[in-house]
Amino acid sequence: MGVVNVTPDSFSDGGRWLAPESAVAHGLDLLADGADILDIGGESTRPGATRPLVAEELDRVIPVVTELARRGATVSVDTMRAEVAVAAVAAGATVVNDVSGGLADPDMLTAVARTGATYVAMHWRAHADHMRDFAVYDGPGGVVAAVREELAGRVAAALAAGIAPDRLVLDPGLGFAKRPEHNWELLRDLGPLRELGHPLLVGASRKSFLGRLLASGGSPRPVGEREHANTALTVLLAQQGVWGLRVHDVRAARDALSVVEQVLGPLTGEDDR
């Protein structure tokens, strides 16, 4: 899943692809590099980010979704708003990637169910401007048990709203209301999340916990210099059979996976929804 941020303030590449023509060109480049899905987002969810107006988000993403779908891309819309999700599906998107798992907008789950799109429900506790206040996992089983329990609740809500079981994907939400140690604990033990019975999407690309791992002299590695670490993680996750790998540098991920497949044989995800 190649990332196309149509935003002025995303942590990795905010502003680079804000103009629709730039975003479309970037999406086409990612397709040429081997992306299976293009994830188009018009709202930054970096820590501390403020939300755009609905009209702003629609203006950012719908022209890009429309053109990339017209060009034959499989398009995902990265949004927490039902109105944006419905408009994007009407414009050609087939996946709704909701980082709030339906908690930010009470109309999201029923709206997506009516469209028939695949729905990605991420683990989420609060909006970006104060999510750090919720990075506490001191119950039995720690962060893995908490994320499993809370995602199980989102599964139940999604199914109750009418989303088909074979159209539901789960995301552990690395970096969202989680400190670096929480992200590593989840990556070491995805098994309990698999037990929920739905494919997993994992988005670790360029996130701050990688920068802290690679810190030098007390300073985290800059965003643009974390790709090698993310590529290694991509290989490990692919070997575990996760459904989706959300990345910024599709070529690096594809090159690494090609090497692994040459040695070990074809890598297969959990299914092809």
Active site positions, annotated: 207, 246
Q: Are residues 64 and 27 in contact, defined by beta-carbon separation less than 8 angstroms?
A: yes
Rounded distance between C-alpha atoms, residue 155 and residue 170, angstroms: 8
- Grouping H, G, I as helix, E, B as strand and the rest as coil, residue 202 is strand
Q: What angle do CA 140, 143, 149 make, to 5 degrees?
A: 75
Rounded distance between C-alpha atoms, residue 251 and residue 35, angstroms: 8
What does 140-177 look like in DSSP terms, one character per residue? TTHHHHHHHHHHHHHHHHHHHHT--GGGEEEE--TTSS
Rounded distance between C-alpha atoms, residue 132 and residue 48, angstroms: 9
Q: Tell me the two tokens of residue 102.
A: 């339906």
Q: Tell me the two tokens of residue 37.
A: 């899905």
- Residue 200, strand partner residues: 170
- Residue 96, strand partner residues: 77, 119
- Grouping H, G, I as helix, E, B as strand and the rest as coil, residue 5 is strand
What does 46-81 look like in DSSP terms, one character per residue? STTPPPPPHHHHHHHHHHHHHHHHHTT--EEEE-S-
Of 56, 46, 1, nearest in space to 27 by CA: 1
